[in-house]
Amino acid sequence: MNSQPNEAKRPQKFKLLFSIFFCAVALILMVGAFIYSSWTSQQRHEAEIPKVALSSLGQSLRTFQAQTGHFPEGLRELDARIWKGKRASQISADGKNLLAASGHYYYTYHKADATSCAVWAMPVGSRYEEAATHFWYLTPTQVEKWMGPALTPENVSAVNSIPSEPQLRWLMMTQQPASQGGQGQKKAGFLFF
């Protein structure tokens, strides 16, 4: 008669241990799912921050100018010679604009003459206000850089031309230290788009 109570306790003890183990596994899975969900949400949020690749675009323009003796008429000409057609889908029909959707930047190109051109880089997307607007005036040996806050919809029309210095200041752009081209210049350390 003494053997029956021990046999009854054994299945009950097993059920209790199984329940505790199952609850622990469920808790670990729930915490893991929460951490993974938070991480993916943060990754999506970070991916929406505009990332400018103007150094790479400027380098490509100056390479084109060094090879041909003039800046391209439009970005399609640059794409054909330097990028080998890799950016064709990002360039507008008139060849003056490029939308780098993955970087959340919109670039506008303006040729001044054979030895100078200008490029606007404006942040786009849901977090455009967190990034800066850039304006570069390029020559074979120098780059005049301007940077300011993201343009408002009212000010976007300013990028349809090469602005004067007072116009840049009106847009709250500030001139950045000039960079020199030539032998000592390093290549951009990141990929374009």
Q: Tell me: the pLDDT tens digits for 48-100? A: 777 888 888 989 999 999 999 999 999 999 999 898 988 888 888 888 988 88
Bin 137: left if φ > 0, else alpha if -120 < ψ < 50, else beta: beta
pLDDT digits (tens, 9 = 90+) for 87-128: 888 888 888 988 887 788 889 999 988 899 999 998 888 888
Which tokens is 77 given?
Answer: 């000409």
Residue labelled with tokens 């505009």: 50
Q: Which of 19, 18, 12 has its CA nearest to residue 4?
A: 12
* pTM of structure: 0.69
